[in-house]
Each structure stands twice: as structure tokens, then as C-alpha cells.
Structure 1
Amino acid sequence: MKDLEEDRAAILAVVDAETEAYLQRDYDAWEKCWHDGPEIRRIHSHVGTGVTVVAGPEIRTQMHRLLSENIEWQVPEAIRRENMNIVVSAEMAWVSYDQIGDMSSIPKEMAGHYHELKILHKIDGSWKIACIVGTQMRIDHVRAPLVEVDETARLLWMNEAAQDRLPNHPMLGLRANRLHAAEPDAQGELLSAVDWIAKVRDRHTPCVGEDAVTRAIALGQDDTGLAHICWAILRDGRLLITFDDTDRLERQLASAAAVYGLSQAQEKLARHLVEGRDLGAAAAALGISPNTAKTHLQRIYDKTGVRAQPALVRLLLNADRRGI
């Protein structure tokens, strides 16, 4: 038991020392924490840059460049760890934890929040890092409201944007701690989408990208005539509902325009129609005549094969929908 406690303390000391060397940009101190061999790895999944894998000697080359050269980069002012887990055997150990970096000089939604796994070897009596895997959770970097639910739409978690917006949302809210759409048809679509995504998640099909596991739900129009939309999505293995997401709506309409061959002017008109404006209001917002707007709409109908605005909205919101 004493040896195990000593090993745990030594392992944590190495983890702390490597982090401190990183923060202080001290390459020599960082290098002392790492094993040297062709089998070592640094694997990171980052929201902005995707997955990177660095192996063997290239790790030291990369870190020397980052820590020793005059390169502008942003280092967290402080780091804390949560949910620490340590497993130790005679010559190998692994440590996993959530690591949160305090980077107050950048927006809060881009804070450095990772889950890290470090694998260490005991070499000549000393623990050395042989592999690090860091994953940055995408949902921690979303500005739009996000609500996590279970397969019955029961609330599990909300980000700050959802906490601020959901109590005042005209078409979406909570009822008995479950997410609920005000319009009956929208409620049926919401529950159907949640159930479908839950089943996809349970099947765990890695050949299916998360972007395909998305369903758009038209929530209807509020008292001012503004249309509202939410999306049921799968991200980081979590079933989420997002709304008031203008960036997602822009991407979805751009995808629909590409699918149906809409011109830029037709796409702009479609955006206003999806937001609940009638043809006259859309024309005024675009600064075009009602006749021009009517011509654009007729051409949109010809390209999409529908003849009514509600049907058009449903079609555009699901233009990139794929069966799984």
C-alpha cells in the first residue's frame, strides 16, 4: 500500500510538473517529464483544428518550437483539474481528468476546457509520460442556447445562453421538467426527433457523422409573426436541443440553396420566408418590389416542387436531411 501511495504521488508530481513547465514555457523542465522513444504520442482533438497526432521525436521538435522560440501563442493564466482518476500498475499508469484553463483575455465561450488522458511508464524507477490524449468538447464552445435532454425530453443540462433565453421563449419551454413546444404539431415533431436521435445514439454507428444526426423542428410563429425553429442534434454523445441559432440557420439555408439550385436573390428571399415574413414584408426587407419578390418565389416553387409557403419552409429546413 505504501508503494502504491508513493507511486500515485510521484505520478501526480510529474503531471503537475509537465503542466507548470508548459505554462512557464520551460522546455527543459517539460522534456524531463517525458519518455524518449518512437512509441510516444501526443493526440489532440480541438474544436478549431480537428484531430492532430504527433509521434516520436517530432513531439520534442514541436514542443521546443512552441516553448523556446519567440512565437505568439496564448497560454492559460491558470489551470485546474476536476474528476481526477488514477490507475497504477507496476510499470504503467494512466491518469484522466477534466482540465479547465483560465484564459480571461479571450471570450468566455472559448475557454480552454479539455478532457485529458496521460499514460505513464516507470523507467529506471522514474515515472515518465509516454502518451497524452486531449479532447476539447464542442458543446463548451457554442454560443447559441443548448439544452441537453434524455430520450423522453427530460431536462438534464443547459448552457448559460439557454438559462437566459428559455424562460422567455415564446414557442419553447419546460413542462414538468421536460422540454415542451407550445404548438401541438411542433411538440409531436420534437418528441419524434428526440426519440430518433436517442435510438441512433444507442446503435452507436461510428460510420455516421454527427452532422447527419440532426432534425430541424418548425416551432411556429409567435404573436409578432416571427417564426421560430429548433434543432435536435447529437454532439459529443449528448442529445441536445439548440434554438435561436442564426449561424446554423444560415448554413442550413445555404445547403438548401445548393441542393435546389437557388440563386443568391432567391436564397435571401427564402431566409425571410423561413423567418415567418409574408411576401410583402420580405420584399420590403430586401428593398425589392412585390412583383420582383413574387417572381423569385415562383422560381423557388418551380425548383423545389412545392406551391405553399409552409411546405416550402419544411422543405428548406430538411433539404440536407439524410436517412440513417
Structure 2
Amino acid sequence: MNGELDQTQARPNEIDTDERAVRDVIFREINAFFSRDFESWQDCYLHSDRLRSVMMSHDLGLDVRQGWADHVEGVRLHFESTTPHDSTWEKNIEQVEIRGDVAWLICRARNNSSLCMMGESYETIILERHHGKWKIVCCDVLASRSYRNRDRRIAVDAEGSIVGLDERSEQYLRQHPAFTIRRGRLRAVDSTVDRELQAAIGRAGALHGYFEQVAFARFEGQRFAYPIVLERTDGDGHEVVMLTVEDRLTYLDFSTSEATTARIDISATIFSLSDNQQRIVQGVIAGKSLPRIAACLGISPSTAKTHLQRVYQKTGTSTMTALVRTLLSVG
């Protein structure tokens, strides 16, 4: 394998044979990768300094490998640190183009394992024919995060239909007194809340495209995030469901996240909240009632109420629900 392309051109009646051979390389590579069959895996690649692989994923960031030595080093480490298993990917080759001794493919794959951090991948793969055999010379992979690894998060598409719901999230949702699943869509039991929820999902769905998100962030000064505030049926505080957009999906987050904490910090700066007022706000955001907040902070309920009233004045709100929505709408 000297990296020199064959100069012979494929005849028209050889195209189908070439396409089958190219597809065979792609599926041999992925099966060998998951079974940790190094010899079969390495046989699918061109061993040349021209080999290039690019992996971009939400969780792991960007990884660029230039040349066979660099590429194989990373894969060897992966093989040595993991155990063989059946492929959990469903790969669909959407387009194949062959010109002489060069072939390029566009693939889309979906992972079916709850243990994998990646959900879908979008791949562009280039192969060259060397000494009669097709070899991978370039592979670019863009991978989205798997919604299956997100506890108490629900993914819906642009039309509002649920497309991501793991077992734990489903159990949590079915036990939730304020929500229900109706005809494959998430609905709120209270009609007023449901109208707000459906409007927010529709607004988020209009931002699923990359350029739509860029335009929104440029105009608003922040990425899309919308809080739905629910009064608890037991009267003890409230609950927040945060809507965000990511990987062309809308996520409904029922749990407190790092993003929520960051928004509290930003709100404290914007509204000039004191340390004591910020502690009250943190309790409010966490869904605690004022008596519980006072008990947690070791202060009297009247002192907690005084702090809360001052927060209301600074934020221009008068209820906990309005306060939570205001505080979480920044950042």
C-alpha cells in the first residue's frame, strides 16, 4: 500500500460491482470495530500519511487524526480498553458516488444502545481503490448526543411529537400529576398551562435549524430557553420545566441543571440581588415553599418574606411563578 492511485478507469458495467465492494468495506469496518477485530478493521483503511479522520461529538468535542499512525494509535487504545460486543449502530448509506478509483459516501447512523453517548451520526466517507481493493482514506463524522442518557428529559420533534423518552423518564412522566401523553404528544392537564406549553414547543420547533438558532441568539443575546412554571398540587412551592433546543430537537428538562444555576447567577448580577436575596431565589427556583426556605437557611419566615419582597421589587414581579419565569429567562 504505497498511497498511489490506480490509473485504470471503471467501465460502466463494473459500477454495480464497485458499489457493492465499497458498501462491503463500510459494513466490514463497523462490524470489525465493534467486535474488536483489529486485523479486519485495519484492512479497511489506506495505510498512508494522507489518511484523515475527523470526529465531532457533543460530549467529546473535536478529534482530528492525520495519517495512519495517528489514527491507529487512538483505535488501538480504544480496543485495549473496551470489550467486544455486537454493533449497536444502524447505518444507512444514503448516497454513493464513484468516479474511477475514488468513491465517496454519505451515511447516517443511529445508535440503539442506552450506554452510548452518541445518538445519531452524519458521516462523509471517501475511499480509493489501491491494487484492486477499496480503502478508506477520509472519514468525517458529526455525532449528536444520545437523548437516552438524559435523566428526566424528554425530546420532541418540531411538531411536538415525543421522539426521545427512556424508561426512567417515561415512569416519571406517567406519575406526574400535571402532564399526560396524548396521541404521542406531551400535554399538560391544566388547559391554561397546556396552551403555554404547546406555544412554547411550537416556538422552539421553529428554531430547530442551525441558522434559525444563530439568528435567535444574535437578536436575543442568548440561546433559546423557556421555563414553564407549575404550581404544585400540594401547595408546597412549584416546579420548573425548562425547554431548550439542541440537535434539531426540543428538550423538556424536569430536573435542575447547571444551566439553571448559571441563569440564577446572571439574574443576581442583572437585578443587583444581595447574597441573602440570592439564597432566597435559589430556594424559590428549587421549588421550595417560603417556610421551607426559611428553615433551610436558619432564618425566621418573616425575614425570608422580607427578602422575597425586596426581590419582587427589584425584578418587577409579585408572585413566585412570575419571579421564576423572569429569573430563568435570562442568560
User: What TM-score do the two structures reach when normalised by structure 2?
Assistant: 0.75
Note the C-alpha offset of 1:303.
Answer: 4.1
CA distance in 1, matches of 2:255, 2:306: 29
Segments of 5+ residues of structure 2 without an aligned counterpart are 1-11
From 159, 162, 174, the equivalent of 2:169 is: 162
1:242 matched to 2:252: yes
Does the CA contact (< 8 Å) of 1:23 and 1:76 recur in 2? Answer: yes
1:219 matched to 2:224: no
2:153 equivalent in structure 1: 145
1:87 equivalent in structure 2: 96
CA distance in 1, matches of 2:37, 2:268: 48
SS of corresponding position for 2:141? strand
Note the C-alpha offset of 1:162.
Answer: 3.0
CA distance in 1, matches of 2:236, 2:242: 20
The percent of aligned pairs where both chains have the same amino acid is 22
CA distance in 2, matches of 1:12, 1:124: 18
Change (3 A) 1:135 1:251: same
SS of corresponding position for 1:135? strand
2:121 equivalent in structure 1: 115
Between 140-149 and 64-73, report the one with greater CA deviation.
64-73
From 187, 191, 213, the equivalent of 2:194 is: 187
The aligned amino acid for 1:77 is H
CA distance in 1, matches of 2:33, 2:203: 47
CA distance in 2, matches of 1:194, 1:220: 20
The aligned amino acid for 1:194 is I
1:49 equivalent in structure 2: 60
Change (3 A) 1:64 1:133: closer
SS of corresponding position for 2:46? coil
The aligned amino acid for 1:144 is R
CA distance in 2, matches of 1:70, 1:137: 20
Count of equivalent residues:
309
Change (3 A) 1:34 1:303: farther
1:313 matched to 2:321: no
Cα deviations by residue, 1:2-31 (Å, 9 ceiling, x for unpaired): 734432342244334544268637489627
1:105 equivalent in structure 2: none
The aligned amino acid for 2:329 is N
CA distance in 2, matches of 1:76, 1:264: 53
Cα deviations by residue, 1:42-69 (Å, 9 ceiling, x for unpaired): 2212232323334x43xx3433433457
Does the CA contact (< 8 Å) of 1:146 and 1:243 recur in 2? Answer: yes
CA distance in 1, matches of 2:300, 2:115: 41
CA distance in 1, matches of 2:229, 2:285: 9
SS of corresponding position for 1:288? coil
CA distance in 1, matches of 2:112, 2:89: 9
Note the C-alpha offset of 1:146.
Answer: 0.7
CA distance in 1, matches of 2:196, 2:173: 19
Does the CA contact (< 8 Å) of 2:53 and 2:139 recur in 1? Answer: yes
2:5 equivalent in structure 1: none
Between 307-316 and 63-72, report the one with greater CA deviation.
63-72
Does the CA contact (< 8 Å) of 1:218 and 1:314 recur in 2? Answer: yes
CA distance in 2, matches of 1:260, 1:5: 67
SS of corresponding position for 2:87? strand
CA RMSD between the two structures = 3.6
Does the CA contact (< 8 Å) of 1:17 and 1:33 recur in 2? Answer: no
CA distance in 1, matches of 2:138, 2:103: 11
Change (3 A) 1:76 1:28: closer
SS of corresponding position for 2:264? helix
